[in-house]
Amino acid sequence: MSFLSLGVEASDYSVPIENCVKAAEAVKNNDAALLKPLVRDLNPEEEKAMTPYLAKVHTYYTKGSYQGIRNFRTKDVQVIENAKTSIYQDTRENAEKYNYDEEIWVNYSFDTSRVDKKDAVKSGQCKFAQIGGRWVMMNVLN
């Protein structure tokens, strides 16, 4: 069973927190160059797919279901220990595939509007793992 710690001191995970903010900027501005250093090393096929994937995420958050990313803010950090045995399937599969033990979830929210023009707050997690000695983003604004 996986252990989930809530409210871990943000200063313990300053790099993932900063990288979550950078990821939001990358999505907001459809900037693959800003996103690239945040993700794991990609094979040539994955590298080629990154730009269209980011464009799809950008459209979803700025012209699709949501109408922009405003006032992006991080909240607390959750630590998923023993990621290889996590109850969360994506975490477990990624931990096994990329051989890491701990996943960090940076909780975030931002102001936006929905397609119906009503103001809304969207929240989610930026998920990170340490792979090859660096913090690597495992998702893009999930």
pLDDT at 8: 45
CB-facing half-sphere around the CA of 130: CA atoms within 13 A: 9
Mean pLDDT along residues 74-85: 92
CATH number of the domain where residue 59 is located:
3.10.450.50
pLDDT digits (tens, 9 = 90+) for 5-44: 444 444 468 999 999 999 999 999 999 999 999 998 888 9
What is the pTM for the complete model shown?
A: 0.85
pLDDT digits (tens, 9 = 90+) for 52-61: 999 999 999 9
Is 127 part of any domain?
yes
Cα separation, 111 vs 71, in Å, equals 6
Place of tokens 């001191």: 9
- DSSP characters over 59-121: HHHHTSSB---EEEEEEEEEEEESGGG-SSHHHHHHHHHHT-S-EEEEEEEEEEEBTT--EEE
Is 55 part of any domain?
yes
The pLDDT mean for the chain works out to 88
Is 142 part of any domain?
no
User: Which residues span the domain enclosing 54?
Assistant: 3-137
Show the tokens assigned to 124. Answer: 């989610």
**The total number of structural domains that make up the chain:** 1
pLDDT at 140: 85
pLDDT at 57: 93
